[in-house]
Structure 1
């Protein structure tokens, strides 16, 4: 007697558990997509990342994580006398993004700040008058004050490295963020190497040693903002020198130097000054300039340079406000900026309470 193919007892057993699991995952993904679409729909246009900024952030992060992974894996492979392929930065970013680790306010704030600062520098340089040559840094590098000259030369070298190597240098993040990225990257690399057959106990020891070596090699003083702050401190501009110095830094396409000079004058850290400069409304920046006696012409020069380089800025609104900005007294401007001199953590707590309400 032949077997009946329709006989349920003889039919192959079907495992439905994987299908059920995949359906549950698909359901969660659909919910996430809906929530993301809702958030995106209600975002104000000025709050959206433009495509160029989004792509630049992705490139910076991918290059940085790729560089960090290369250092860690290279050291670990030497310890274990093995040959491991260098993990790709894009794959590691994808894994870290899916895990939620990259949704870190401090990291994303730094990535956004660095990216917008670099895009601003590119735009400012593109907007230079035809044939105009930058002279500010050359004059500082050749001046008779050895401290200023050395700091200016180091600034030029550091910015050139930043522009040519970029995120592939992997170390232009503050120490605490760099350390975070190293450990996150090491964990993602660990997953890949275990999947490739790495022995867990020896692998972990080698990865930890590689990560610790990368942390120890990081020098916060080599970063562009640290170098710019040292140059600003060496210049230590007098109040009457400040407006022309700030405007000159923007005219020649050195926003990092502009931020550093502003930070030094206001007694705040570089990141806070950069946030003032990159804010498309710019209201606090105008108070900062008036607090240091910048006149109408100097403020107009800064505002026009920023508006020409940043399409988020409303040049007509700035022009309408210019007379009112110039009418602010330096004393009133200093009063308005008083909270900037408070410790950053204290100000963050004050802002948090203000958002929550009584």
Structure 2
């Protein structure tokens, strides 16, 4: 097979390709990568989407920081921002659990939504669009705010983006200051290191002041779900309809409202590819067997459950005690759950 027919091999055929590290110098990384279970690897689509989102996010923040500088330093071009990302990646300053988790979540959302849209033949979400004309004005406004927010997270080619406001407050602060540190040599060469430190600190303050977590997609979706719940319109039909359209963030927020389990935890449980964990979280929300069966028949394979019959048997077999145990475990602090798992107590990621 020629390299042109196999893109992965193409760089190796490039006589001008940069030299790789000697084998033993990268042995630890190669061992980890070589023995990684295939099911745990990122697909090429996931890697490409997550990389594009990360590059755009870092580039947008860097441009905002440059615009806030009094020195008049102009925004860099794409090549300049690419080098900035490369510097941050090389020092592992972007290898942050919360940031990578959010990138992966967006990739999962995009995968499921795209597949669901292909099955239904509809490009737009009828569930959200229909809520814009809701009888309650607050619900209609919340639905419109979510639709507009989602529109801002697409580039001109329809590519999914991660917005600065989607980041948790602590993560936004860490990322902004890391980018400032990477910009320091660029600015310091113009105004000197002391002036660069002062100007970058002020620029970071201005950019962080504009950060609005309440405008993040999860926050906007949570607001809509809360308002629908208050109007007693967050019923099973709405959850099934949203699931059939691949609206997993909305489904997670709806289940969260009904179960008391945090929405991000619900999302992880539904996408765990573990029938017991997924069915347990549905039972904590007191969803009916018919709803569970509809979800499994419609998007079960997209959630990693290829055998609906097996999953619905698990749904039926769960006892009240097991359901309450799952609710108790999933409402504990994430740090506590991680520590319990790390210490080998209980059953790790199992919820019941």
TM-score by length of 2: 0.82
Q: Find the counterpart in structure 2 of residue 138 from structure 1.
A: 129
Which of 270, 276, 280 matches 1:283?
A: 276
Helix, strand or coil: the match of 1:171?
A: helix
Give the Cα–Cα distance (whole angstroms) in 1 for the partners of residues 124 and 21 of structure 2.
Answer: 56
Instruction: Write the deviation string for residues 142-179 of structure 1: whole angstroms up to 9, x where unpaired.
Output: 22222222222212221222234753743321111111
Q: Find the counterpart in structure 1 of residue 340 from structure 2.
A: 350
Whether the 8 Å CA contact 1:249–1:258 is kept in 2: the answer is yes
Q: Find the counterpart in structure 2 of residue 47 from structure 1.
A: 40
Q: Find the counterpart in structure 2 of residue 107 from structure 1.
A: 99
Whether the 8 Å CA contact 1:266–1:341 is kept in 2: the answer is no
Whether the 8 Å CA contact 1:307–1:315 is kept in 2: the answer is yes
Instruction: Write the deviation string for residues 82-104 of structure 1: whole angstroms up to 9, x where unpaired.
Output: 54645733222211111122222
The answer on 1:127 being equivalent to 2:119 is yes
After superposition, the Cα gap between the structure-2 partners of 1:329 and 1:132, relative to the gap in structure 1 and judged at 3 Å, is farther
After superposition, the Cα gap between the structure-2 partners of 1:147 and 1:329, relative to the gap in structure 1 and judged at 3 Å, is farther
Whether the 8 Å CA contact 1:64–1:171 is kept in 2: the answer is no
Whether the 8 Å CA contact 2:244–2:298 is kept in 1: the answer is yes
Shift of 1:338: 1.7
The one of the two structures with greater contact order (alpha-carbon pairs below 8 A, sep at least 6) is 1
The answer on 1:149 being equivalent to 2:136 is no
After superposition, the Cα gap between the structure-2 partners of 1:300 and 1:137, relative to the gap in structure 1 and judged at 3 Å, is same
After superposition, the Cα gap between the structure-2 partners of 1:217 and 1:41, relative to the gap in structure 1 and judged at 3 Å, is same
Instruction: Write the deviation string for residues 156-206 of structure 1: whole angstroms up to 9, x where unpaired.
Output: 221222234753743321111111110111111113334x54422222211
After superposition, the Cα gap between the structure-2 partners of 1:159 and 1:82, relative to the gap in structure 1 and judged at 3 Å, is closer
Instruction: Write the deviation string for residues 279-333 of structure 1: whole angstroms up to 9, x where unpaired.
Output: 22353221121233333332122123334445xx2413x4333223234345542
Q: Find the counterpart in structure 2 of residue 334 from structure 1.
A: 324
Give the Cα–Cα distance (whole angstroms) in 1 for the partners of residues 105 and 162 of structure 2.
Answer: 17
Helix, strand or coil: the match of 1:192?
A: helix
After superposition, the Cα gap between the structure-2 partners of 1:277 and 1:92, relative to the gap in structure 1 and judged at 3 Å, is farther
The answer on 1:34 being equivalent to 2:24 is no
Q: Find the counterpart in structure 1 of residue 178 from structure 2.
A: 184
After superposition, the Cα gap between the structure-2 partners of 1:307 and 1:36, relative to the gap in structure 1 and judged at 3 Å, is farther
Which of 140, 144, 151 matches 1:160?
A: 151
The answer on 1:213 being equivalent to 2:206 is yes
Runs of 5+ unmatched residues, structure 1: 1-25
Give the Cα–Cα distance (whole angstroms) in 1 for the partners of residues 47 and 32 of structure 2.
Answer: 17
Whether the 8 Å CA contact 1:262–1:273 is kept in 2: the answer is yes
Larger CA Rg, structure 1 vs 2? 1
Tell me how many residue pairs correspond in the alignment.
Answer: 325
After superposition, the Cα gap between the structure-2 partners of 1:254 and 1:237, relative to the gap in structure 1 and judged at 3 Å, is farther
Helix, strand or coil: the match of 1:126?
A: helix
The two structures, once aligned, show a CA RMSD in angstroms of 2.9
Whether the 8 Å CA contact 2:54–2:162 is kept in 1: the answer is no
After superposition, the Cα gap between the structure-2 partners of 1:82 and 1:173, relative to the gap in structure 1 and judged at 3 Å, is closer
Helix, strand or coil: the match of 1:49?
A: coil
Give the Cα–Cα distance (whole angstroms) in 2 for the partners of residues 277 and 356 of structure 1.
Answer: 20
After superposition, the Cα gap between the structure-2 partners of 1:86 and 1:325, relative to the gap in structure 1 and judged at 3 Å, is same
Give the Cα–Cα distance (whole angstroms) in 1 for the partners of residues 163 and 123 of structure 2.
Answer: 30
Helix, strand or coil: the match of 2:165?
A: coil
